[in-house]
Structure 1
């Protein structure tokens, strides 16, 4: 999260670094251009990570397990955090750019792989709710970015490089805890044909009991998929059976990028300043963005859940006229 104090400090750091190197200050437009590149390089990294992620998932000669892929992916976050933490000492704003790029790659891979992993680890009756929780915790992460960026915490002029590297903490937590979790039961049974391992993973994740029904459902899915090749991006676009689903996803994801929320998040300082809010109050006003995001996420999830229940009841229990 690009906090107000962070923005001020980074802009000042870019200008002072340039002055120290070349003996002259940058023009305001040039500083803003570099700042815009720092902002946008995260999205470029996210695009690269989302394209690399499927290759890591499918080609097991590079990574044998999805869990191991997530563990390796944390190294990108740790390296990015290290670069940004050392940027002020090294007097290099290029390290911030590279660190943000690595953060984006980490997020792009994680968003695909983590969602798939937790969805496959969840029981079928809870799979939808568990998968949707990803959006909720993304909103929580944004709010945490606003909180720790307050001047009372890590928003000071001395601590802003460590504020940028704060994402290393979740990466370290996952590195320490994820090895104790099993691979997903579906992955073990479908991709590795390890029935005993899949059953053991179910018992570890869901508790002891009879999970034969879930095993049968996964095996039934495996029989359906036998003989089918993994579809690439080109095959996805020409497949008529998923055309409308693809169009709907494109409209939803594309529409989210045009509603202006990214501009509010990344340029909150400029937006609030233009609205006449004093600079000393903008960090606290920005907390409202994170809270609104969490509220909207919970509201949308609740509405979608109710709509799905209504359609399911109409499908399974049609009214007799």
Structure 2
């Protein structure tokens, strides 16, 4: 194994495809912008689906919505899988957007279902299991992206298509819970004196304002914590820092993330979610400042590279408690 990452392999695909289409090489600035846009289209797709998940879930039901999300995953795999063969940058970008739609629906619907079926006294631990599955998935993805696995110029489309496996496996599970979801709907329909809560009412009714504000701030702080940027660019950051095996270092961060997620399953019910959130937010802010300082001074020698390692490590650990 060497220090190359799938980022470099896909950037080479960008360069080659751009040259074939426009008969000139891509500039470094254009390559950076295109790669950043390709990465961010997932977040864009997730944002769109999160904003519309209430409408989808109310219209089709949670079970059918999960099936719709799985269909989006399979469509995304089809686009990303053929992008290299077709020599199409657009197909890869569309695939990333579709997988973002899938992620947005899943990360909203599945935690809701987990909370519905979890015993109240250990609901926090059950919710953390969802985070654990995500960290395990990230780590498996890092393994698959190694050059002697699927992170090569030949097999990277297959690497991006692995999400189809989980979508296919999840489909029977979604169908199995249909009967239970229908029972929940019957119980909800029997409640008297309730009123349907629309998106507009959430922002108009005074009693909803504080919970909505807290939810928005907490979710925004989680997504703006920098963790996703570290996952997407950790190999490049470590390479710029002069690390001999940056890919392996990134995998180490993923393994530590899993370890502390498991630890948080037992910790969340002991210390409480509010205490962990407040502590995590405070330390995360310090870590982000530490990372900014260390990345800005990568050209220097001395303790700054050490600060980079500490900052990345702490961000990975603290993210498990959000």
- TM-score normalised by the chain length of structure 1: 0.77
Alpha-carbon distance, 1:169 to partner: 0.9
Residue 115 of structure 1 aligns with which residue? 111
- The structure having more radius of gyration, on CA atoms, is 1
Query: 2:89 — aligned with what?
Result: 93
Q: Aligned with 1:156: secondary structure?
A: coil
Q: Distance in 2 between matches of 1:127 and 1:160?
A: 38
- Alpha-carbon deviations, 1:223-281, whole Å to 9, x = none? 6x523222223322333334333333233222223332122111123211221113xx1
SS in 1 for 2:178: coil
Q: Does 1:254 align with 2:220?
A: yes
Q: Distance in 2 between matches of 1:7 and 1:287?
A: 15
> Is 1:141 equivalent to 2:105 in the alignment?
no
Q: In structure 2, do the counterparts of structure 1 residues 272 and 229 end up closer, same or farther at CA, with 3 Å as the change threshold? A: same
Residue 307 of structure 1 corresponds to 271
Listed as ranges, the matches of 1:111-190 within 5 Å are 111-179=107-175, 181-183=176-178, 185=180, 187-190=181-184
Matched, 1:57 2:29: no
Question: Do 1:117 and 1:184's aligned partners in 2 also have CA atoms closer than 8 Å?
Answer: no
Question: Shift of residue 125 of structure 1?
Answer: 4.9
Matches within 5 A, 1:250-289: 250-278=216-244, 281-289=245-253
Aligned-residue Cα RMSD (Å) equals 2.5
Distance 1:296 1:146 in 2: 18
Closer/same/farther in 2, CA of residues 309 and 121 from structure 1, 3 Å limit: closer
Over 3 Å counting, the alpha-carbon distance change for 1:124 and 1:259 in structure 2 is: closer
Aligned to 2:7: 7
Q: Is the 8 A contact 1:120 1:127 kept in 2?
A: no
Q: How many angstroms apart in 2 are the aligned matches of 1:125 and 1:245?
A: 22
Whole-Å separation in 1 of the counterparts to 2:221 and 2:120? 30
Per the alignment, do residues 309 and 258 of structure 1 end up closer, same or farther by CA in structure 2, a change over 3 Å counting? closer
Q: How far is the alpha carbon of 1:123 from its aligned partner?
A: 4.5
CA distance in 2, matches of 1:246, 1:133: 24
Query: What is the distance in 2 between the residues matched to 1:98 and 1:144?
Result: 24
TM superposition shift of 1:177: 4.3
Q: Structure 1 residue 19: deviation in Å?
A: 0.8
Displacement of 1:136 after TM fit?
A: 1.2
Q: Distance in 1 between matches of 2:151 and 2:164?
A: 17
SS at match of 2:110: helix
Return the alpha-carbon distance in structure 1 between the equivalents of residues 20 and 121 of structure 2.
Answer: 60
Instruction: Find the residue that maps to 1:86 and give its secondary structure.
Output: helix
Runs of 5+ consecutive residues of structure 2 not aligned to the other structure: 276-322
Q: Are 2:79 and 1:83 aligned?
A: yes
Partner of 1:293: 257
In structure 2, C-alpha distance between the alignment counterparts of 1:4 and 1:45, rounded to whole Å? 28
Match of 1:207 in 2: none
Kept in 1, the 8 Å contact 2:132–2:258? The answer is yes
Q: Cα gap change, 1:309/1:11 in structure 2, threshold over 3 Å: closer, same or farther?
A: closer
Distance 1:25 1:80, change over 3 A: same
Q: How many residues align?
A: 273
Structure 2 Cα separation of the partners of residues 189 and 231 of structure 1: 20
